[in-house]
Amino acid sequence: MGVLNVTPDSFSDGGKFFLLERALAHAEQMIAEGADIIDIGGESTRPGSLPVPNEEELRRVIPVIDSLSAKTSVPISIDTTKSSVACAALAAGAEIVNDISGLRFDPSIADEVAAAKAGLVLMHSRGTPETMQTMPPVADIMTEVIGSLRGSAAEAQRRGVARESIAIDPGIGFGKTAEQNIELIARLDQLAREFEAYPIMIGTSRKSFIGKLLGGAPANERLHGSIATVAVSVLKGAHIVRVHEVKPGVEVVRIVDAIRGVR
């Protein structure tokens, strides 16, 4: 899954693809490099970020989805926590909704997904992007993530989303300490066993815990660390990896898949 942020303030590439032409060019480049899904987001969820009004989020993402869906058959995902944005994005050509709140912010997202027979990614997070890194950490992050995601998946299905249309994401960086992020990756195989009916998605790309492990490396110097986490995550059971740099991600997954095939 290739990341396409059409925002002025995302933590690692804010403003870089804010213009329609640049956004489309970058999406086409990621597809050429092997992306299986393009994830388009119009609202930054970096720590400390504030919500974007519905109208502004729609203004950012819908022209990109309209144009891109007319050019490619690669599935488009809309990264949003708003049912109104999800509805418009699905009508414009998106096929997946990626909800970082796991339906906590707007459960009606599941209604829109069910009506469109679309895919739904349910991610675990705590608090809001504005507050998540100031919250006291939970004592047992695995129990917290498993319990919360079970509830999200049950709510989605109660609202009509097919079980086979749901993927889950442990939410690396969203209300977790650096140590808890590492623990979630190290124990991802346990999460995969707990949710064997669902594909596991994980997004570690350029996250701050990688910078900490690398002695304070800024976001644009975390590629090798990000790729290391991708390799481990796939070995531990991840089915979808969300990345900013697609070509290195595709190459590492191919190698890991070859090794897993022998094993």
The predicted-structure confidence for 158-172, as pLDDT tens digits, reads as follows 999 999 999 999 999
pLDDT of residue 46: 75
pLDDT beyond 70 at 104:
yes
Catalytic residue among 176, 207, 222, 236: 207
Residue 10 has pLDDT above 80, yes or no: no
Q: Is 207 a catalytic residue?
A: yes
**Is pLDDT at 179 greater than 90 in this prediction?**
yes
pTM above 0.75, yes or no: yes
What is the reported pLDDT for 132? 84
Q: Please tell me the predicted confidence (pLDDT) of residue 148.
A: 98
DSSP H or E run through 154? helix 141-158
Collect all residues with Cβ–Cβ distance below 8 Å to 178 and sequence separation of at least 6.
208, 209, 212, 213
> In this model, does residue 11 exceed pLDDT 70?
no
Give the model's confidence band at 7: pLDDT under 50 very low, under 70 low, under 90 confident, else very high.
confident
CA 169 remoteness from chain centre: 7
pLDDT over threshold 90, residue 17: no
- For the residues 125-153, what does the mean pLDDT come to? 93
Q: What is the pLDDT of residue 263?
A: 64
Distance (Å, whole) CA 12 – CA 19: 16
Encode burial over 92-115: b for 16+ CB neighbours within 10 A, e otherwise: bbbbbbbbbbbbbbbbebbbbbbe
Mean pLDDT of 66-82: 97
Alpha carbons 105 and 176: distance in angstroms, whole number:
19
Single-letter residue type at 147: G
Is residue 236 annotated as a catalytic residue, yes or no? no
Which residue out of 176, 206, 236, 242 is catalytically annotated? 242
What average pLDDT does this structure show over 103-114?
98
Domains of the chain as residue ranges with CATH: 2-262 (3.20.20.20)
